[in-house]
Amino acid sequence: MPAGRKLEGRVAIVTGAASGIGKSIAELYLEHGARVVAVDLPGRSLEETGTTGSGSIRRVEIDVTAPDAPDTIIGAAVKHFDGLDMLVNNAGIAAAAQFEELTDEVWDRLIAVNVTAIFRISRAAVPHLRARGGGRIINTGSIMSATAGPTLSAYGTSKHAVAGLTKGIVLNPPLSHAAQTDSSLPSRRARVRTTASPCRRRSPCRCRARRSRRR
């Protein structure tokens, strides 16, 4: 494998790939030789992602909360790249409001994008990760996965849920043998990383999520 091409031949899906963290992840994967399915909402300039790099890219414009989103997104990887090795659930939204002013609509949308979409897309991905002998699911969290804010009740709840879902996915047999799952929780002052790794034993899984905090 040529130096600097650590992901040569791997297939990755990155949601929220039109800007910010998602765009950076998708383009870094391409630089390392991965084949990438980049996902974001229509009209978000997704065509600007992956204009450089040596890997192949397929762009999918879809709302991750759409009923057919899991099948469409996973299907793009399988159809165009013959499988899936990595899923990066990065799409997310935030909204600030005093708790008593938080509407049902805002709450439901935040949970749908930040939590339910991760659950549905990850569930659809697992059989394909297993078919390749294992893989990785990476869920983008937040410092709000470990703390709270006065106007971020809904967002903080959703990111706490991301951390819990991440640990739960991999500790649920037989998924413990299907994928290694990480939730990255960045902040300026601290980096909190919650990692749930698959048990490699043949017996029932007794492993536990590992959590570390580094300042």
Is residue 155 annotated as a catalytic residue, yes or no? yes
Contact 184, 169 (CB under 8 A): no
Contact 177, 199 (CB under 8 A): yes
Please pick, among 141, 155, 182, 185, the residue that the annotation labels catalytic: 155
In angstroms, rounded to a whole number, what is the distance separating the alpha carbons of residues 50 and 53? 7
Contact 140, 96 (CB under 8 A): no
The b/e string for 159-186 (b: 16+ C-beta within 10 A; e otherwise) is bbbbbebbbebbbeeebbebbbbbbbbe
| Catalytically annotated residues | 155
